[in-house]
Amino acid sequence: MKRKNETVRISIIGFGYVGSGVAEVVTRKRAEIARKHGLDLKIVGVADLRGVVVDEDGLSAKTLRKLSAGERGVGSWKEAAAEGLTSLDLIKEVEHEVVVEATPTNVETGEPGLTHIISALEAGRHVVTSNKGPLALEYRRLTELAARRGRELRFEAAVGGAMPLISLVRQNLAGNGVISLRGILNGTCNYILTRMAEEGLPYEHVLKEAKELGIAETDPSKDVEGTDTAVKLVILANSVFERNATYKDVAVAGITEITTDALRLASEAGFVIKLIGEVNKEGFLRVAPRLVPKADPLNVGGTLNVAKVKTDLAGEITVIGKGAGPIEAASAVLSDIIWTAKHF
């Protein structure tokens, strides 16, 4: 994919918030990407649990809009139940270069993402994913498979949403040794702690409010108990520090026990309390509520994410950005697609 005006055919597996966000940004940015990068991005197939739609010339903006609005049965749509056509058929049988994997995260089995990613790499396709599960469970197996097949596996959206963290370390800080990474990798927890500290409101009250605003899920346990942050930390440990860590290696504490009194006392002493994920080159992995000085760059509010990268040459670099949201996650996916297309 090195020549100018190269066509890059893309499939999107999983068409919920992130999948439809990717369709929207590819549609919106297509002309600009062709002009700036010499790449003609075409979405040739979309699959979800219900079915598959394929157009080898590229699905039209109108079809993609209808799919994003929840319509099915558009274009050459085939129902999985009626016609037995699944996402795996799209991945294996339709000629294309990049599979975008955006199905739900499952940190127990990695499925269905794990099978999608393995099948895509085995079929000779590059993979860009926002799905944490397969990476947290089988990072080494997947990256070794990608290397054997000479294909790229990229996953910026899985860790910090829109925040460019993996590419910052791998590309912009190439040549630096990374000593540690510390940060806030879960927007729901950050929202809750920020509101509790600023308004003096109790945990249960703010959690209810976050659910009403759609910031917390109906079952927020993975966020508030620190699991989501821990899973992201495992991916960082494996990708940045070349470890072979799993979730069991992380000491995890969440935010459910934090009281307004603790936040007030911290504030009087010049601190805030944040749920911080930390990983360093010695293999230390921890998620826990930590005191952060008010003037520290890690003190970001609301649903923002932040990461401080400590390096041997550049010193400390901090990135701040939106960790979730369909367009924000799609921004990271799009950037991974463009990088892949330009380097292979």
Ligand X SMILES: NC(=O)c1ccc[n+]([C@@H]2O[C@H](COP(=O)([O-])OP(=O)(O)OC[C@H]3O[C@@H](n4cnc5c(N)ncnc54)[C@H](OP(=O)(O)O)[C@@H]3O)[C@@H](O)[C@H]2O)c1
Give, in order, the Cα–Cα distances in Å from 97 to each of 78, 147, 342. Answer: 22, 16, 12
Residue 336 engages ligand X in binding (rule: CB under 6 A): no
Nearer to ligand X, 37 or 96 (CB): 96
Rounded-to-integer distance, Cα 128 and Cα 154, Å: 5
Site string for ligand X, 84-103 (x = CB under 6 A): ---x--------------xx
Sequence-ordered list of residues with C-beta below 8 angstroms from that of 219, at least 6 positions apart, any chain: none
User: Minimum distance between the CB of residue 141 and ligand X, rounded to whole angstroms?
Assistant: 18
Which residue among 22, 43, 46, 47 contacts ligand X (CB under 6 A)?
47
Q: Are 161 and 329 in contact (CB under 8 A)?
A: yes
Q: Which of 10, 48, 216, 319 binds ligand X (CB under 6 A)?
A: 48
Residue in 78, 132, 222, 232 annotated catalytic: 232
Integer Cα distance of 242 and 255 in angstroms? 29
274 is an active site residue: no
Let me know: does 234 contact 154? Beta carbons within 8 Å.
Answer: no
CA distance 12 to 214: 24
Helices 260-268 and 187-199: crossing angle, nearest 10°?
A: 70
Among 58, 110, 134, 161, binds ligand X (CB under 6 A): 161
The residue among 13 and 230 lying less far from ligand X, judged by its C-beta, is 13
For 100-145, the DSSP string reads EE-PPP-TTT-TTHHHHHHHHHHTT-EEEE--HHHHHHHHHHHHHH
Residue span 298-327 as binding mask against ligand X, x where in contact by CB under 6 A, dash where not: --------------------------xxx-
Q: Which is nearer to ligand X, 112 or 321 (CB)?
A: 112
- 260 Cβ neighbours under 8 A, 6+ residues apart: 196, 200, 201, 202, 203
Q: Is 344 in the site for ligand X (CB under 6 A)?
A: no
Asked if 130 is part of the footprint of ligand X (rule: CB under 6 A), the reply reads yes
Q: Which residue is nearest to ligand X (CB)?
A: 16
Contact flag: residue 334 with ligand X (CB under 6 A): no
Question: Which residues are part of the catalytic machinery?
Answer: 232
Binding footprint of ligand X on the chain (CB under 6 A): 13-19, 47-50, 87, 102-105, 112, 130-132, 157-158, 161, 324-326, 329
